[in-house]
Amino acid sequence: LHRNLSDLDRDFLLSSATFFVQASYEEGLGLSMVEALSYDLPILSSKTYGSIECVVHNANGILVDDSKSFEEEFSQAIIEMCKLDLCGLRNKSHEIFMEKFDSRKSKKEFLNILYDFMSA
């Protein structure tokens, strides 16, 4: 677990990671998951409103439902992640990042909305 990282330390850790793990009971669209996607990392996360924006179950990671046995299921999911095709998961994470979070696409969509508003 790492806290209060500098940007340089965070970038080093993400660039050298095999996959990203986040377990939380409630999470909006967390910046940490988007940052992990920007490094093409597969993601293992609890299933929250934010995580379902970043993770397609078994395509670029694993989502674990909240349940009575959450800790056990999450532990098993860590083992399962190590057995998956991480290269394929990385490719899908890259696709998701480019599709949903790439700044060029976001700027273009914002400008289209602005243009539509001004044209009305």
pLDDT tens, residue order, the chain (120 aa): 778 889 999 899 999 999 999 988 776 677 889 999 999 999 999 998 889 999 999 999 999 998 889 999 999 999 999 999 999 999 999 999 999 888 887 788 888 888 888 887
CA separation for the pair 88, 96 (Å, rounded) = 13
Q: Which residues pair with 43 in a beta bridge?
A: 20, 61
Provide the residue type at 37 as one letter: L
pLDDT at residue 86, as a whole number: 94
Provide the residue type at 48 as one letter: T
DSSP helix/strand/coil, 61 = strand
- Residue bearing tokens 């439902």: 65
Q: What is the pTM for the complete model shown?
A: 0.80
pLDDT at residue 24, as a whole number: 81
